[in-house]
Amino acid sequence: MSGLGGLNKSPDGVVLGLVQLQLPTVVTPDDLSAQTQRLVDMVAKARRNMSTMDLVIFPEYALHGLSMDTNPEIMCRLDGPEVQAFSTACREHKIWGCFSIMEYNPHGNPYNSGIILDDKGELKLYYRKLHPWVPVEPWEPGNLGIPVCEGPNGSTLALIICHDGMFPEMARECTYKGADIMLRTAGYTAPIRHSWQITNQANAFCNLIYTASVCMCGSDGSFDSMGEGMIVNYDGVPLVTGTGRPNEIITGEVRPKLLQEARRHWSVENNIYQFGHRGYVAVKGGAQDCPYTYMQDLVNNAYRLPWEDDVVHTDGTSCGFPAPTRSYEGIPLKDSVVK
């Protein structure tokens, strides 16, 4: 059930709108300004489209397109005119919004960032993509972890970006921190369609979480993004699936209270609980150790695959980027918010 795409909203429901935005070409500051206005206009369309909509979600690369251009002249800042325009639109139309920006980084390559604004235009969540789609993407790896925030109508939101969703640890972290709706914004093209569908479903089922995911859509003359907006129930069954039509807004309702009930009352397949309490029938409270070598190695900065030395692509040179010369250093949170 999705309330006929959100037309019939339940008292405890959250109506989501997934914008299959037409893939743009953005080269100059004027292009960026024009594309910002297109998104503002689409916020207005979302509100006109459905008065019950709580949250409108734009895909990754909605502002910048798929050129991977790191030109500082078209990079964004949190206090820049693009974010301010989004804030004004959310406030004027009394709707929450999720937006994508390529964020200027004075310490290195830009960040691929996502923000969630409330219906007063206030920043509620700020995330930097942890897993850029290497070797194609040049973005700096994110350093803010995976934040969650209070969302509309009693929900708790998390945001991940595109390739992030191919790592099951991302959805698990969102859920572990209390999210009941995980947004996934993307710019994926058609070859990823099957992987997109099955990971959106698996992420939902394995964590008892709603997933709401959307890609850019249409062609820019070089690339063809696939749209494929989809909302998946916490049992892994798709509630709403989109098409490949550019600028269509895919809508549906989710019910966080039902999900919260499942997390508390499911016995079999309550995977998010059972992951940390394995075998609780045999031992009191279940085993709560960490039997996973890769987790221990990551913590100890010793992650290494058995075939590590044979991996061919370990930098971006195959996609035209120079090999990096500096090592990663996490920037303290207080220094990482670029004004």
Tens digits of per-residue pLDDT, 265-305? 999 999 999 999 999 999 999 999 999 999 999 999 999 99
Contact 116, 86 (CB under 8 A): no
Whether 162 is a known active-site residue: answer yes
Query: What's residue 329's pLDDT?
Result: 82
pLDDT at 147: 97
What span, in angstroms and rounded, lies between the C-alpha atoms of 215 and 247? 11
Cα Rg, the chain, nearest whole Å: 20
Structure tokens at 25: 């070409």
Closest CA to 170 of 198, 204, 135: 204
- 140 catalytic per annotation: no
Task: Look at residue 243 in the predicted model and tell me its pLDDT.
Answer: 87
Query: Residue 337 — pLDDT band, cuts 50, 70, 90?
Result: very low
Name the residue ranges covered by the structural domains of the chain.
3-336
Given a cut of 70, whether residue 58 has pLDDT beyond it is: yes
108, 327 contact by CB (below 8 A): no
Q: Around Cβ 168, how many Cβ atoms within 10 Å?
A: 13
- Token pair 């708790």 is found at 156
Q: What is the 3-state secondary structure (H, E, C) of the chain?
A: CCHHHHCCCCCCCEEEEEEECECCCCCCHHHHHHHHHHHHHHHHHHHHHCCCCCEEECCCCCCCCCCCCCCHHHCECCCCHHHHHHHHHHHHHCCEEEEEEEECCCCCCCEEEEEEECCCCCEEEEEECCCCCCCCCCCECCCCCCCEEECHHHCEEEEEEHHHHHCHHHHHHHHHCCCCEEEEEECCEHHHHHHHHHHHHHHHHHHCCEEEEEECEEECCCCEEECCCEEECCCCCEEEECCCCCCEEEEEEECHHHHHHHHHHCCCCCHHHHCCCECCCCCCCCECCCCCHHHHHHHCCCCCCCCHHHCCCCCCHHHCCCCCCCCCCCCCHHHHCCC
Of 43, 185, 175, the C-alpha closest to 101 is: 185
Instruction: Give the residue-averaged pLDDT of 134-140.
Output: 97
- Residue 221 · residue 198 · CB < 8 Å: no
284 is catalytic: no
At 319-330, the pLDDT tens digits run 999 999 999 987
Kindly state the average pLDDT of the residues 107-124. Answer: 97
Distance CA 331, CA 128 (A): 12
Q: What percent of the chain has pLDDT over 70?
A: 97
Q: Give the CATH number of domain 3-336; options: 3.30.2130.10, 3.40.190.10, 3.60.110.10, 3.30.930.10.
A: 3.60.110.10
Average pLDDT over residues 176-199: 96
Residue 65 in contact with residue 112, Cβ under 8 Å?
no
> Catalytic pick from 76, 90, 98, 162?
162
| Of residues 249, 69, 55, 74, the one with CA closest to residue 151 | 55
CA dist 111 and 308 (Å) reads: 27
Q: What is the pLDDT of residue 190?
A: 87
CA 81 to chain centre: 22
Cβ atoms of residues 107 and 137 within 8 Å: no
Comparing CA positions, the residue from 24, 136, 28 lying closest to residue 72 is 28
Tokens at residue 186, please? 């993307």
Beta bridge partners of 150: 156
The residues pairing with 115 across neighbouring beta strands, listed in sequence order, are 99, 126
Q: Which of 74, 98, 77 is nearest to 86 (CA)?
A: 98
Quickly tell me which residue has 């989809």 as its tokens: 230
Residue with tokens 């299959």: 20
pLDDT, tens digit, 9 for 90 and up, residues 149-177: 999 999 999 999 999 999 999 999 999 99
Residue from 82, 98, 129, 253 carrying the catalytic annotation = 129
Q: What confidence score (pLDDT) does residue 331 get?
A: 60
Task: Return the structure tokens found at 66.
Answer: 């798929």
Q: In the predicted model, is pLDDT for residue 335 greater than 50?
A: no
Window from 54-58, 83-87, 243-247 with minimum mean pLDDT: 243-247
| pLDDT exceeds cutoff 50 at 194 | yes
